[in-house]
Structure 1
Amino acid sequence: MTAESHSTYAVYPVGKIAFIAGLQWRWLPVRGRAKMRAEAREQLASRWVSLPVGDAGEPGSLLGTLVDRGETPVRHRQLASLALAVQPSLAPNAYGVFPLAEGRWWFVAVVNGLLSPYGDVVGSEQAVRAAVATFLMALPVPADGWTLYAPSGFFDGAVSRLEGLSSLLQGREAIERARLHKTESKTALSLWLLSGLLIGGAWWGYHVLQSHQDEVRRAHAQALIRAQQAALVQHPEQLLKPWGGQPDFASVLKSCSGLWQQAPLSIAGWLFNTAVCSNKGSMTLHYTLPKGGTVGDFAARLPALYGENVRAVFNIPGAADDASFTLPVTITPVTVPEPLLPGEEQIQRMTSYAQRLNARLRFSAPRVLNQKINQTEMPLPWKTYSFTFITDIPPDRLFASTRFSGNGIRIQTITVALHRSRLTYILEGTLYADN
């Protein structure tokens, strides 16, 4: 049995099953096959597998995805996650390193009997050693210590078990649980391709018609803008709604989360610390220096991940143990301000939601502002509250439009902080409500 390697994963064939090492794992605060498939589709994954975690109070799932772009050599084999298949055979708190073909290695980790998202890494010996270091620095040592699985001498001075991968692949139930599901069926894909051909055939005729319709739309839009400007002259209070000129709640969450979810946990050995996303259109990420790393390593690695235009900033003069860089975030502001809820209803609605989730929520005292209109000082018909919302649940899931309405809520910054292997999300913003 040999492992066939690819860019970020490896195939370990055993009989009629091809075990995949190196899936991308993430925790989600939802369960259900349909939701997992939808999430895998958003990540452009061809295969996925999920494992329910948590309890009734905080249900969730560990989702593993494979993006192979059709290059995985299945050869009439069924695909399964190697990490999930061997996990029941490992000690409750353990990590292991196993040699694969072509000089590649595989790192897997289990914490409290569950697969760790830090594990399931395929790469060179150097890359795998870095993954082990990241795992050990991010998690506290269990009371009874870690159980190691590795070739003799791989970890200097450490006692490790020598089990091979094949000896850990025991139990039909574990293998069944590890099977990967297809994100899209062949039938659906065929229909999609056929639809694409039909659409392509009609594109030329549509393009000719579209050019004419664009001219009509532009004329209509200009007329609408002129009408809106005239209405604002007659009703100047419309100019005073500040939430109308800011990005809405959902837009900030979607844009920021899409960026921080792609951020690596470590860069050249430096560990992720915090990410601060602003509604002004930027995100600054901070990484902390572990033992043995250098600022030169980080500065050399960063352009390979984010391009030559992204530069690292270090706290120099100083301890030189913090590296940061800033990325642009595309956030579209609201053009028409939405109606507000009464202040008491707004406050109770958001507070009740935080209490159900065991999140921390702080409000400032309400502020009622005045505005000068035609040389007359007039009180505005709304009031504002500053708030801070702190949670361990990813906010893009927590505040999905199907769960929570963002009317009158504007986010200034979202901070993501890693502490003891858990991410904490801090949302700071303003809530607008009718008097």
Structure 2
Amino acid sequence: PKRLFSLAAAVADSQRQPWLGIYKIADGLWWYIAVRDGQAILPDGDVIGGEAEIYAARERHSGFGDWTYVEGNLDDLSALVQGIKPSPVFALHGAPDGLLAAAALAIIVVVAGAGGLWWHAHQLAAQRARQLAMARIHALLEQQQVKKALPSPLLTTPLPDAWLAACDGAIENMPVSRDGWTAYRVSCVGDAASIVWWRMPGATTAVRPRGALSASGDKVFQSVPLALKHAAGRNNGQPLPAEESALFALLQGMGVKATIQSASSQPPASTLPGGKLAGKTALPAPQAQVHFTFPVAPFFVNWNAVPGFRITRVAMRADGWNVEGVLYGR
């Protein structure tokens, strides 16, 4: 299969090994590389991220050996790439004479011919490596510019307290029963509240709650828009690990267990190994999915205390309120 060039592999032998390198690629964008002896790049030693994330990654590795520490910027990294050279060719030394000299000369001629072709191919490969490495750096910069041009999801989604207030306003005056129909399921998802009404004995569809009727005629699905017109967000998020810690602390203080799972589909350019260039595809914000069950109605908790938290769904259940949301980092 066709192999693509790895920038990390290319610069691995540019410093005394083992070494840890941090390079500032652009505002808010840093690259971290961790190289062991023998140009071995650690599995998590080739990472793109924010300053705090990158220095935390280096801190995790710093206790594992006698490292050389290197820091630089895009110019320094570009200089390393421009300086990429093929491995040296070891020459034969000595002065044979007689028949041995003739035989040696013949061998040298043959080897030199093959070696010349190999050296030429190796030089072309090194040149191609430099070009691909620089293309990768420029692609990362383009992606960063696109990301900066897009509004943060923290600005485009309402604060959790405002969202829950809109949800509460849509369902607080909803009766438990209406015309023989019982509110069986109540939830808020996105920009609407949803109520599922079940028909009780004696009730008919002649008098029923507003909404879509099920195929059996025994359920009604009602949707009530949430009043979110003026519910603006606020872009004051922290690095994702700090957001996760803050939400855990808030919930643990109330005796609530939660599951916080980082999104499986991370940015395609989160590392610098070879791969298909993502062009101008925007990088999503670091995020994690959140799920927990709250024992009482969650409308009276200061969820805004976790700046990167956004609630996407609440649903009333027999054991409490099921809450789902997203944590956004920066």
Larger Rg computed on CA atoms: 2
> Shorter chain as normaliser: what TM range?
0.3 to 0.5
State the TM-score, normalizing by the size of structure 2.
0.47
TM-score normalised by length of structure 1: 0.37
